[in-house]
Amino acid sequence: MRLIAKLIVTFLFVAMLQETAHAQVAKADFFKVIHSSFDQARTDKVDVLAPKSFERALSQLQDAEKDFDKGRKPDQINEKLKSCDQYLKEAQQFAISSRKELLSAISARDDALTAEAPKYAREAWLVADARFRDAVERIEHKDSDGAHRKGSEAEVLLRDTELTAIKGKLMGEARSLIAQADQAKTADYAPRSLAAAKRSLAQAEQEITRNRYDSTVPKQLIAQTVYEVKHASYLREQIYPLLQKESIKQQGIEQVMLDWEEPIRRVAIEMSLEPHFDQGYLRPMQDLYDKVGLLQRDLSSQRQAVRDRDEQIALLTAEVKQLQSKLGGESLERFELQKRLSAQERVRDNVAKIESMFGADDGRVFREANNLTMSLTGIKFRVGKSTIEPEAFPVLAKVGDALKLFPDSTLVVEGHTDGQGNDSTMLLLSQDRADAVRQYLITNLGVNAEKVSAVGYGKQRPIASNDSEMSRARNRRIDIVMKISGN
């Protein structure tokens, strides 16, 4: 008997599930058309552009679905669906009117959403969007003048909200780090570094305000801000213990300074230098900088030497193949080969002489195939100017000596700037500086005007990051590219 009872219960449960499933399928089919209409309306933003009418339509749909669930008669349900459809069509007509009457406000709202205003400027977004809803509801009330007035107010609020969101999105991390630094009283221990961070952030905000849709410069400034504030926080962590009496008693300021010198000492020793700190750390650092520059020039020379040797091997291999078919004697081919090898040797010797002319403060020289580049960071200009200063004359004199070793070469003077400033402004400035150097070569060094050209690249071709003043100084340079020949 118990088994039979269990079977009956199971049968009834399965039957109930099947009936429920059939009912759900029937409901989905019954409301399929109206649900599709609502989906399309949302895609067309009818719920945003005619919210009152859309909400009335939605309310009728929800009532109809409740009646269906209660098993009400189809005629009664269809009556509510008819009313729902009427409200939805009315909402669509109002939405068309809103698009015509409130075009600028709608565009501002879309831009604010693109900037993720609900996330990065939530409070401002709620106020601005409420004003926008007020405007579209005036359309539904057929109050065109009121809609225009509220629409203009909403547009202003939405544009401000968009700008706030863009700033929040780009500057959020930097602002948070500065707030943490302020809370930790970092300014008491690293005031200059923290002030530099705040200046960079203020400049970034000004750039965003000036052109909210170009984030290139703001991102660079914000990256600099993040670095500066992290640097300031690190300095605080280092300085704070030094100012505590117990800490000073334990190790003393002398030991702290010795600890700071130690990494420089280890690197110097690895590079076969003997560092001396009797006049501070700047001299050892300059020695390291000079050593690195020398190693870079040596590496460039060695790479070119390898390329030259490879070419010689290829030429000699070709000569061997030719000589294998001959019994002996001096051939014209052999003479030409020796001539080319001798010319290559002269080129290498002259390049080595040019490399030795320029010190680390002048710039660096490197060769790639038949292009010899003198990258002259020693030619400095005043901010925003293209006039050659007298301090650059000795460097340009060395350029003149280098040109004498390759009198038949053609030249290209390239102007380069760092990564700061407007793209077009930096491009024009770099061209003006390149033109100034070209004219100096022609007027003062007697270079043939037809053999020298000038081009400005602005900040398109950096050779270092723009994260620090030292790296930016390397990017602010004049490159003189000589087209040389081994023949």
Pairing of strands 410-416, 452-456: parallel
Same domain, 275 and 297: no
Is residue 214 over pLDDT 50?
yes
Contact 128, 41 (CB under 8 A): no
pLDDT band for position 129 (cuts 50, 70, 90) = very high
Nearest-CA neighbor of 444 among 384, 383, 403? 403
Q: Which of 186-190, 249-253, 328-332 has the highest mean pLDDT?
A: 186-190
Please list, in sequence order, all residues whose beta carbon lies within 8 angstroms of the beta carbon of residue 486, skipping any fewer than 6 positions away.
340, 343, 344, 346, 347, 370
Whether residue 392 sits in one domain with residue 302: yes
Boundary (domain end) residue, out of 65, 83, 101: 101
Residues 6+ apart with CB under 8 A from 110: none
pLDDT in tens, 424-454: 888 999 999 999 999 999 999 898 999 999 9
Tokens of 213: 């849709």
**335 and 272 in a common domain:** no
In this structure, is residue 204 part of a structural domain?
A: no
Token pair for 186: 């970092």
Supply 74's token pair: 């189809």
**Residue 107 included in any domain:** no
Residues 400 and 316 in one domain: yes
| pLDDT at site 15 | 41
Is 250 inside a domain boundary?
Answer: yes
| Of residues 420, 436, 427, the one with CA closest to residue 381 | 436
- Would the pLDDT of 114 be above 50? yes
Same-domain check for residues 12 and 50: no
Do 435 and 448 belong to one domain? yes
Residue 292 sits in the same domain as residue 432: yes
On whether both 408 and 335 belong to a single domain, the answer is yes
Residues 290, 391: one domain? yes
Say if 119 falls within a structural domain.
Answer: no
pLDDT tens, residue by residue, 25-36: 578 888 888 899
Task: Give the integer Cα–Cα distance in Å for 364 and 298.
Answer: 11
Residue 92 within any structural domain of the chain = yes
Say which CATH number the domain at 311 has: 3.30.1330.60
Reported as a pLDDT band with limits 50, 70 and 90, residue 474 is confident
Number of domains in the chain: 4
* Residue 16: per-residue pLDDT: 45
> Other CB atoms closer than 10 Å to residue 40's CB: what's the count?
12
Can you give the C-alpha Rg of the chain in angstroms? 38
Query: Does 477 lie in the same domain as 345?
Result: yes
Q: What pLDDT is stored for residue 330 in this prediction?
A: 52
User: Helix or strand or coil: residue 188?
Assistant: helix
SS3 state at 452: strand
Classify residue 396: in a domain, yes or no: yes
Among candidate residues 138, 169, 164, the one with its CA nearest the CA of residue 151: 138
pLDDT for the residue numbered 335: 63
Summarize the confidence of residues 347-369 as an average pLDDT: 84
Does residue 358 or residue 3 have the better pLDDT?
Answer: 358
Confidence of residue 19 (pLDDT cuts 50, 70, 90): very low
**pLDDT-based confidence at residue 247 (cuts at 50, 70, 90):** low
Structure tokens at 136: 């579209």
On whether both 251 and 390 belong to a single domain, the answer is no
Q: Tokens 């118990």, residue? A: 2
Q: Which residues of 377-392 are buried (b: 16+ CB within 10 A; e: fewer)?
A: bbbebeeeebebeeeb
pLDDT above 80 for 252: no
Which residues are bridge partners to 414 per DSSP? 455, 479
Residue 20: band (very low, low, confident or very high) from pLDDT cuts 50, 70, 90? very low
Query: Under a CB-based contact definition with an 8 Å cutoff, are residues 50 and 92 in contact?
Result: yes
Q: Tokens standing for 208?
A: 């965003």
> How far is it, in rounded angstroms, from Cα 224 to Cα 230?
10
Residues 6+ away with beta carbon under 8 Å from 385: none
Q: What is the mean pLDDT of residues 142-168?
A: 94
pLDDT at 225 exceeding the cut of 60: yes
The domain containing residue 385 runs over which residues? 285-323+331-483
Computed over every residue of the chain, the mean pLDDT equals: 83
Q: Indicate the residue among 55, 82, 101 that finishes a domain.
A: 101
In this structure, what token pair is assigned to residue 299? 């590496």
At 187, is the pLDDT very low, low, confident or very high (cuts 50, 70, 90)? very high
Q: Are 75 and 22 contained in the same domain? A: no
- Name the more confident of 196 and 383: 196
User: Could you give the dihedral angle defined by the CA atoms of residues 155, 156, 159 and 164, in that order, rounded to the nearest 10 degrees?
Assistant: -140
Cα atoms in the Cβ-side hemisphere of radius 13 Å centred on 227: 11
> Within a domain: residue 125?
no
On whether residue 147 sits in a domain, the answer given is no
